Chain A
Amino acid sequence: MTTRVRLLILTVVVLLTVGGTVGYLWKQHRDDEEAKKHVAPITEISMQALEKAPRIVFRNMNPATSYGAVGAVAVADPAGPRAILKTQCDRVYATAQRLLCLSSDRGLTTTYDAEVLDIHGLSSQLQLPLAGIPSRARLSRDGAMVATTSFAQGDSYAATSFSTRTVITQIKGTNYGSLEDFRLIHQGNVITPVDRNYWGVTFASDNKTFYVTAEWAQHTWLARGDLATRTITTLHEDAECPSLSPDGKHIVFKQRGDLPTGKWRLVSYDIASAKVTPLAETHSVDDQVEWLDNNTVIYGLSRTGAGAAVSDVWQVPANGTGEPKVLIPQAFSPAVVR
C-alpha cells in the first residue's frame, strides 16, 4: 500500500467515525428535546402554599421542568401541583426546619458536596465534605442530626473497587465522624474486620440511637448504633438501608435472600419480636424507604427501558398486605415532612 492509499483510507475512516459519532450525539440531543415536548408539564405552586400541611419533599425527575431540582407536594395531593426550588440535588432529605442536599459538581473532574439548607434552599446552614458519589441522606426527626453515605473509591486495598463512607454530624455540636471509627460489636465481641462498610443511617427520636447497615466479608447486617458510647451492635443478618417507623416499632429494610447480586426485596422487621415480614412489592428496590405514616412506606423506583433516567415514588403497606402503586410520578428520594 502506498502512503497515498493509506492516507485515503484514513480519511475515509476519520470521516465515517467522526460523522457517525457526531450524528449519534446530535440524534440523542434531538430525541431528548423531542421527548420533553411530550412530557405533561407540571403545575407549579409556591413552597409557602404547601408549608401549612404535611408534605413530601423529593428530587424532581420531570424531564421537561427543572430536572434534578428539589420539589415538594402536599401529602393530600401527591400527584398534584408541586413546588420547585432552585436547589439541585442528587439525593435530598427534609424536615420541617431544613433540607439536606447531596450534590455533585461536574467539571474538569467531579466534586461532591453535602449541604444543610433552610427549607426554601436559600441559605446554607452547614457545609459538609462528601468523600464521593452521593448515596444516602438522612436527618433526625427534629433536624438536629445529619447522616450521609457516599461511595468512596480508592481507599480499599485495590483501587478499582468501591467502599462506603458514612458520617454522622450534629448540626450545632459534635461531628461524630465516620462510623468506621466506631466500635463494632458482633455476637458479644468487639471485632475489627478491615473490609467493614456502613451505609444508610436512620435516627431514632432520642437522637442518640440509630440503625444502620453494617457489612463485612460480603455479609450485611442490620445494626443498632449508639452515639453516646460510639458503638454499633449487629442485630439481624441480611439487611440493608434500614428505615425506622415514626412510632419506633418497625424497621423496613431491603433483603437479598436468595436473589442474585443487585436484587433486593423489601421486608418489615418487628423490633420487639425480631420477626421479618416481606412486603407486597415484588420489584427489586435499591433505596432507603421513607415512612408515609406508621402503616405505609414510600421509595423511589426507576422506570425501565427508554425512560430509565426517570424514577417514580411508589407506596406499599408496611405489613405485607395490599399492593404497590405510584404515589408521585417523576420523583425520587422522598422525605415526608409532618
Chain B
Amino acid sequence: MYISVRDRPARDGDGRSARQRVAGTVVLLGIVSLLTDISSESVNAILPIYITSVLGMSALSYGFVDGIYQGVSALVRIAGGWWADRSDRPKPVAVLGYGLSMLSRIALLPAHGLASITSVITVDRLGKGLRTAPRDALISSASAPESLGRAFGTHRAMDTFGALVGPLMAFWILILLPANYHAIFVTSFGFAVLGVAVLLLFVPDLRPRRSLAPAESAVTTSLANTVDTSVVESSPSRPTLRLLLDPKLGRLCMAAGILGLVTIGDGFLYLQLSERDSLATKFFPLLYVGTNFAYLALAIPLGHLSDKIGRKRVFLGGNVALLAAYGAAGGPIDGAAMTVVCLLLLGTYYAATDGVLAAIAGQSVPLEVRASGIATAQTVVALARFGSSLCFGLLWTTLGRTEALTITSVAFVVVFPVSFWLLRSASAAQPASITSDKEESGR
C-alpha cells in the first residue's frame, strides 16, 4: 500500500540512498494544509471588511484582548504538543485542531456581536495553535532526517499556495454575490470539511514512540491503524519534562527567541514601505501577496538547501535576509524596485526559517517529546515576536518610524552573533544532531 511503502524511506533497506523523495504523508498533510488555508485565508481576506460592516465603529473595540490571546494561544500550542507526545498519537490532536477551525467557519454565520465574533475567531486561532505542533511532528516522523528540510519546505509551499488561492476565491464569490459574506463562510466551511476528511481518511495515525520498537512489524501495524498491544511494552519511556529540558532545545529556543525579539512584524515593514512609495500605498494589501509568492517559490529550494548545507546555516541566513529587508525598507534608496526587493527578502526570510525551525526543533529533542519540542520553539518565537511588536510599536510612536527601524537593526546586529554562537554550541554539544533520529531508529 502506498503509505506503508513510501512513508518511511529511512526505514527501508535502501532508504538512505542519495535520492530522497518527500514522503506520501507529507504530501497528504500538505493537501490538508492547502485546503485548510484556502478555507481560512478566504475568510481572513474579508474579515476586516466584514467586521467593520457588522460592528461599525465598535470594530475599534475588536482585538483589544490580543495580549491575552497571545498568552492563551502559546499555552494551547504547547498543550497540543505535549498531548501529542503523551498519547503518542499526534494525529487525533491535529484532527481536533483542524476540526475546531472547521466548526468556527460555520459558527461565523450567526455571530453578529462583538463578543460572539471575537469568540468565534478565538476558537479558530486556538484550533490553529493546537494542530501546528502535532502536524509538524507527523511531518518529522514521516520523513527521513536527511531530507527533513525539503519535507517541511514542500509542506509550507503547499500551505502558502492555499493562502494565495483563498483570497482569490473570496473575491470571486463577492463578484457573483455582492456583499454576501455568508456565502464565503459557507464555501470556506466546505474547504475545511475536505481538509479534515483527507486528514481523517488518509493521513496515517503514526506512533512516533512506538515505532522506535525494534520489531519492524510494529511500524507496519501502527501505519495500518490497528492496535497491537504487544509492542507497547518495548516502547521507549513516556515523555517527561526532563526530556524536554534538553540543553540543545534550550539553546535553539534562546537563539531563535532573541532573534524573534528583534523581528519587526510584516505589517510595520509594509507601513514603512507605503510611507515612502506611493505605489506601495495604493497596493498596500498586495504587499502580503508579494511576500507569499516569494515564500511559495523559495520554500522547497531553501528546504532542500538546508538538507545539503545544514539547517542552522539556512536558518541564520534567513535572518540575515530579514536584516537586509530592514535595510531595503528603511535605507537611503526608495521606490518601487526597493519595495519588490524588500518583499523578496521577507519571503526568503520566511522560507528559510519557518519550516526549517520546526525541522531543527524536532531533531533537537528526543523523539519522545518531539511535538512538545517543536511547539516550545514555535511558541518562544511567537511570544518573542509579540514582545518585539509591542516594543517596536512604542518606538514607532515615540521616536518615529525611521528611528525605530534603525534602533531595531542595530539591536539585530548586536544579538545576531549571540544567536550564531548559541546555535554553534548546540551543534557542538552533539554534532550528529541532524541525523540523531536516524541513529536512534537504528539502535
State in angstroms the CA–CA spacing of A323 and B219 once bound together: 76
18 chain-A/chain-B pairs, Cβ below 8 angstroms? A3-B2, A10-B197, A25-B187, A28-B183, A29-B177, A110-B49, A111-B282, A111-B286, A133-B48, A135-B52, A153-B267, A154-B270, A156-B393, A157-B393, A160-B66, A162-B59, A164-B60, A261-B115
Contact B58 A194 (CB under 8 A): no
Q: Is B284 an interface residue (CB 8 A)?
A: yes
Give the shortest distance, in Å, between A255 (CB) and chain B (any CB): 12
What is the CA–CA distance of A301 and B70 in the complex, to the nearest angstrom? 36
Q: In chain B, residues 279-295, which have Cβ atoms closer than 8 Å to a Cβ of chain A?
A: 281-286, 288-289
Q: A9 an interface residue at 8 Å Cβ cutoff?
A: yes
Residue of B48, B179, B394 with most partner-chain A CB within 10 A? B48
Q: Which residue of B lies closest to A8 (CB)?
A: B201
- In the docked arrangement, what's the CA distance between A153 and B66, Å? 13
Interface string of A62-99 (1 = CB under 8 A from B): 00000110000000000000000000000000000000
Q: A151-B52, A160-B66, A261-B58 are in contact. Are A129 and B177 (CB under 8 A)?
A: no
The smallest C-beta distance from A6 to any residue of chain B, in angstroms, reads 5
Task: List the one stretch of B146-154, B168-176, B373-381, B429-437 in contact with chain A.
Answer: B168-176
Q: A155–B270 Cα gap in the complex (Å)?
A: 10
- Do the beta carbons of A13 and B193 come within 8 Å of each other? yes
**How many CB-defined contacts (below 8 Å) exist between A and B?**
156
Is A241 part of the binding interface, using a Cβ–Cβ cutoff of 8 Å? Answer: yes
Chain A residues closer than 8 Å to B270, beta-carbon distance: 154
**3 shortest interchain CB distances as A-B pairs:** A161-B63, A158-B66, A154-B267
B237 within 8 A of A: no
Given A154-B271, A157-B390, A158-B389, decide whether A29 and B176 contact each other with a Cβ distance below 8 A: yes
B289 and A109 form a contact (CB under 8 A): yes
B267 touches A155 (CB 8 A): yes
Return A181 CB to nearest CB of chain B, in Å. Answer: 11
Question: Are the C-beta atoms of B66 and A161 separated by less than 8 Å?
Answer: yes
Assuming A28-B183, A108-B171, what are 8 further A-B pairs, CB within 8 angstroms?
A14-B194, A25-B186, A110-B49, A151-B48, A154-B268, A162-B59, A261-B113, A262-B56
Q: Does B17 contact A (CB under 8 A)?
A: no
Contact A111 B284 (CB under 8 A): yes
Cα distance, A28 to B66, chains bound together (Å): 35
A interface footprint on B345-379 (CB within 8 Å = 1, 0 otherwise) = 00000000000000000000000000000000000
Contacts of A159 in B (CB 8 A): 66, 265, 267, 389
The answer on a CB contact under 8 Å between A162 and B267 is no
- The count of chain A contact residues (Cβ–Cβ below 8 Å) is 55
Closest Cβ–Cβ distance, residue B315 to chain A (whole Å): 23
Task: Please give the number of chain B residues whose Cβ is less than 8 angstroms from any Cβ of chain A in the complex.
Answer: 70
Which of A9, A155, A240 has the most C-beta atoms of chain B within 10 angstroms of its own C-beta? A155
A21 on interface, CB distance cutoff 8 Å: yes
B179: which A residues are within 8 A, CB to CB? 309
Contact, CB under 8 Å: B48 / A106: no
A194 adjacent to B397 (CB under 8 Å): yes
- Assess the B271–A13 pair: CB atoms within 8 A: no
The verdict on A218 contacting chain B, using a C-beta distance below 8 Å, is yes
B202 within 8 A of A: yes
CA distance A6 to B225 in the complex (A): 13
B171 lies within 8 A of A106 (CB) = yes
Q: Is B67 an interface residue (CB 8 A)?
A: yes
Is A163 in contact with chain B by the CB < 8 A criterion?
A: yes
* A210, CB-defined interface residue at 8 Å: no
Nearest neighbor of A157 in chain B, beta-carbon distance? B393
Does A199 belong to the interface (CB within 8 Å)? Answer: yes
**CA gap between A110 and B397 in the complex, in Å:** 27
Once bound together, how far apart are the Cα atoms of A194 and B57, in whole Å? 19
A17 CB-CB contact with B under 8 Å: yes
Interface residues of B (CB under 8 A from A): 1-2, 45, 48-49, 51-52, 55-64, 66-67, 69-70, 113-115, 121, 167-168, 171, 173-180, 182-183, 186-187, 189-190, 193-194, 197-198, 201-202, 225, 265, 267-268, 270-271, 278, 281-286, 288-289, 386, 389-390, 393-394, 397-398
Decide: A3 near B267, CB < 8 A? Known: A160-B63, A160-B66, A161-B63. Answer: no
**How far, in whole Å, are A164 and B56 apart by their CA atoms in the complex?**
12
B99 to chain A, nearest CB (A): 14
Write the nearest CB–CB distance from A124 to chain B, whole angstroms: 15
Contact of A13 among B178, B186, B194, B284 (CB under 8 A): B194
Question: Are A194's CB and B394's CB within 8 A?
Answer: yes
Least Cβ distance of B411 to chain A in Å?
A: 18
Q: Which residues of B contact A194 (CB under 8 A)?
A: 393-394, 397-398
* Contact between chains at B278 and A129 (CB < 8 Å): yes
Contacts of A158 in B (CB 8 A): 63, 66-67, 70, 386, 389
Which B residue sits closest to A152, measured CB to CB?
A: B271
A286 CB contacts on chain B under 8 angstroms: 56-58
A162 CA / B48 CA spacing, docked (Å): 8
Q: Output the least CB separation between B279 and chain A (Å).
A: 11
How far apart sit A158 and B70, CA to CA, in the bound complex (Å)? 9
Is the CB–CB distance between A133 and B49 below 8 Å?
Answer: yes
Q: Which partner residue on chain B sits nearest A262 by CB separation?
A: B58
Verify A241–B57 contact, CB threshold 8 A: yes
A157 to B392, CA, bound (A): 8
Find chain B residues with CB under 8 A from A9 CB: 197, 201
Closest beta carbon of chain A to B390's beta carbon, Å: 5
> Once the chains are docked, how many angstroms separate the CA of A162 from the CA of B168?
23
From 246 to 281 in chain A, residues with beta carbon under 8 angstroms from any chain B beta carbon are 261-262, 264
In the complex, per-residue mask of A160-201: 1 if CB is within 8 Å of any chain B CB, else 0 = 111110000000000000000000000000000010010100
Which of B67, B177, B398 is the one whose CB lies under 8 Å from A28?
B177
Q: Which of B178, B182, B285 has the most CB of A within 10 A?
A: B285
In angstroms, Cα B64 to Cα A9, docked, is 43
Option from A10, A110, A153, A154 in Cβ contact (under 8 Å) with B202: A10
Q: Is the CB of A20 within 8 A of B57?
A: no
Nearest residue (CB) in B for A113 is B282
Q: Which of A129, A135, A159, A197: most chain B Cβ within 10 A? A: A159
The residue of chain B having its C-beta at the shortest distance from the C-beta of A215 within the complex is B60
| CB under 8 Å from chain B, chain A span 102-123 | 104, 106-111
Alpha-carbon separation in the docked complex, A29 to B394 (Å): 47
Contact A13/B281 with A157-B393, A262-B113 known, Cβ cut-off 8 Å: no
A215 to B61, CA, bound (A): 11
Question: Do B48 and A153 touch across chains, with their CB atoms under 8 A apart?
Answer: yes
| A31 nearest CB across to chain B (Å) | 9
Contact A111 B285 (CB under 8 A): yes
CB neighbours (8 Å) of B268 from chain A are 154-155
Given A21-B187, A159-B389, A107–B171 Cβ distance below 8 Å? yes
CA distance A95 to B178 in the complex (A): 29
A142 touches B (CB below 8 Å): no
Of A10, A25, A109, the contact of B177 (CB 8 Å cutoff): A25
Residues of chain A with a CB closer than 8 A to B62's CB: 160-162
- Any B CB within 8 A of the CB of A53: no
Please report the C-alpha to C-alpha distance between residue A151 and residue B177 in the assembled complex, in whole angstroms. 24
Q: Does A32 contact B (CB under 8 A)?
A: yes
Cα separation A74 to B96 with both chains bound (whole Å):
59
